[in-house]
């Protein structure tokens, strides 16, 4: 396999906290993939969760090389698998686009410290 793209994002949680305070559940509905909404509903730190989701989506579209052109925030998400490993999930529309681009594997990594979150996305052909 060869690397198609890599995206890295560092984000202050306070930035997302301001947006969430201003737009509330409308922001949540626009940002989260349907599978992320279930995890958000039980999150102990909802703003931190939103910040991680936002950072991961930004890292993904950087790796894709398009920014959010043709990709909605709710087209891409991250869910936790067994043992907490994060894994990307995609809408059917984005799955089709990745197939056209011959992207076969995706990788994601998350980190947070204090008021900052970091995300890395790698796409492989």
pLDDT tens digits, the chain, 125 residues: what are they?
A: 899 999 999 999 999 999 999 999 999 999 999 999 988 999 999 999 999 999 999 999 999 998 888 899 889 999 988 888 899 999 999 999 999 999 999 999 999 998 999 999 999 99
Q: Which residues contact 89 (CB under 8 A, 6 or more apart)?
A: 33, 35, 36, 76, 77, 78, 79
- pTM for this prediction: 0.92
The three-class DSSP label of residue 43 is: coil
C-alpha to C-alpha distance for 94 and 75, rounded to whole angstroms: 6
Side-chain-side CA neighbours of residue 76 (13 Å)? 30
Torsion of CA 106, 65, 59, 25, to 10 degrees: -110
């Amino acid at each position: 396999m060869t690397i198609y793209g890599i995206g890295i994002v560092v984000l202050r949680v306070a930035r997302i906290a301001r947006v969430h305070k201003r737009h509330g559940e409308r922001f949540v509905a626009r940002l989260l993939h349907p599978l992320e909404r279930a995890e958000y509903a039980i999150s102990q730190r909802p703003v931190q969760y939103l910040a991680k989701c936002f950072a991961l989506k930004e890292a993904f579209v950087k790796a894709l090389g398009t920014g959010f052109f043709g990709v909605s925030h709710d087209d891409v998400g991250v869910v936790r698998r067994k043992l907490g490993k994060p894994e990307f999930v995609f809408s059917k529309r984005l799955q089709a686009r990745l197939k056209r681009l011959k992207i076969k594997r995706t990788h994601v990594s998350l980190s947070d410290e204090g008021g900052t979150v970091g995300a890395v996305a790698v796409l492989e052909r």
